[in-house]
Chains A and B, each alone.
Chain A
């Protein structure tokens, strides 16, 4: 009996204390949370026209007057727009608007061309339709197909036929901020406008702005 008891294996405690491990994990997590940035910042693609004078002159004349809107981005967060080609002898062609949904975006959406169409509204509607189609059937719209369709829409080739597209010229004064410029570019993205250009203020523009006392 005594012999049997001696040979009995001692039951080992198999529980391992995990507390130090948890401590270490906590430390590591804290370190990673503080020293890293989780979200990658967004970017916006911007292609500027070449500084080559000949090219830009030709492109500038390509658009029809009624399909053109010139946006003047000015200091103190002010924004003005001219429908069509600016009339340099008439300072009243400059119309003041505001940033955001009820301001410049509405101006662009409601812009009517000479043949009575509203190209921005048409194109935005087409884009929403495309987005819905993509949402309903994501498999049928991989990025390549979606981008191709979007480019087509931006060119004015809708299902219902070809519509004219808008050309937006953005001119920023020296007093505008970078934020204003990005906001203006943002409106182009929101309104699905394919052709827009950031142009320099020329002496005539400067004179026009000075007549209205705009910085």
Chain B
């Protein structure tokens, strides 16, 4: 961690745009949507392929996909009447980075604590 990084850690602990995190977490708060994301982690899929394992209507799955799309978690590509859906990882990276900032903060602090204890003993 460079000197410049330490300020960023705290910034990330505060900032990581809370509204975007809310949207990400909100979109992830449903089991069907998480299953859709898990399926997409294996690669692009059509809406009907994504709907297949679920015991809900195509329209219902479509609605879940729209929520993921609004949260920026998936992208849609249209070829004729077929809609291909793929994973967009960056919002999840932000959410993950938010947590990682805390991890960095503790790691850095403990390094210094060890140094201090070694000096005192």
Do A and B actually bind? Answer: no
A residues contacting B by CB (< 8 A) are none
